[in-house]
Amino acid sequence: MALGSEWVLAWARESARSVDEQRTQLGELDRAIGDGDHGENMGRGFSAVVAALDSLEADATPREILRVIATTLISSVGGAAGPLYGTAFLRAADAVGDRTELDATAIAELIAAARDGIVDRGRAGVGDKTMVDAWAPAADAAAAAAQAGDSEATVLAVAAAAAEAGAAATEPLVARKGRASYLGDRAIGHRDPGAQSSALILGTAAAAAVDPADESAENH
């Protein structure tokens, strides 16, 4: 079942709920290797997103919704995370274009565009202990699933799983970008907070694609 505006809206609202729930944990991850404000910043940003969604027209397209998410995150999340997430959603909006129904391939393209935006903006690569370590495996997994003919919900589910694994895999790494890079070996053993919030957001993208009424009927 192709996904449309309702999915994007549910994704954003679910992300706000999830980020708020994990606010303390994200803050603790960031306190270990950063400046400790990632949970607060993300919570504030997604609260602002929910407020901004309320002002959208009822017939807003996926692209319009993604752009509102992008500009709201850029202006309300402090630090580097604002422009990084903002660029991700901005590029996702561009990738969606005028489509109102997103099939599995479009979903994979959306995730790949978001990853490319983060890579372009942050100039980080895989293994640098950043958000890219969640987004890159997610984009690869989504592309492979779409290629194999999997459903939209499955594409998102494998992307979410890959992001979660990617975030966990940042723990043994030395950071090469961002504030944590100043810590050298002391960053080892700590999960990157940006990778973790990325995994959260990709997780909610998958959750939002599963219609509770159809969950048992979802064909895996």
Partner 1 sequence: MAGAGSTPRVGIVIVSHSALIAAGVVELARQMAPNTPLAAAGGTDDGSLGTSFNRVNAALASVFAAVDAGGATDADSGVVVLCDLGSAVLIAQTALELLDADRRARVVIADAPVVEGAVAAAVAAEIGGDVNAVRTAAEFSRGNAPTAEAGAAASVQPSVAAKVTGAAEPPAYVRTVTLINRDGLHARPAADFVRLAATFPARVMVNGKDAKSLLGIMSLGLLRGARVELSAQSDGAEAVDALARLIESGFGEESAL
Based on CB atoms, which residue is closest to partner 1, 73 or 153? 73
Give the shortest CB-69-to-partner 1 separation in angstroms: 13
Shortest distance (Å) from residue 142 CB to partner 1: 24
Comparison of 86 and 193: residue with beta carbon closer to partner 1: 86
* Closest by CA position to 168, among listed 189, 185, 151, 191: 191
- Residue in the block written with tokens 């944590």: 180
Residue ranges binding partner 1 (CB under 8 A): 71, 74-75, 78-80, 82-84, 86-87, 90, 121-122, 178-179
Closest distance of CB 78 from partner 1, Å:
5
Nearer to partner 1, 33 or 90 (CB): 90
Rounded CA gap, 160 and 79, in Å? 25
- Give the whole-angstrom CA distance, residue 25 versus residue 197: 10
Q: Of 62 and 86, which CB lies nearer to partner 1 in the complex structure?
A: 86
Nearest C-alpha neighbor of 139 from the set 113, 161, 112, 162: 112
Q: What's the min distance (Å) between Cβ of 122 and partner 1?
A: 7
What lies within 8 Å, CB to CB, of 147 at 6+ separation is: 108
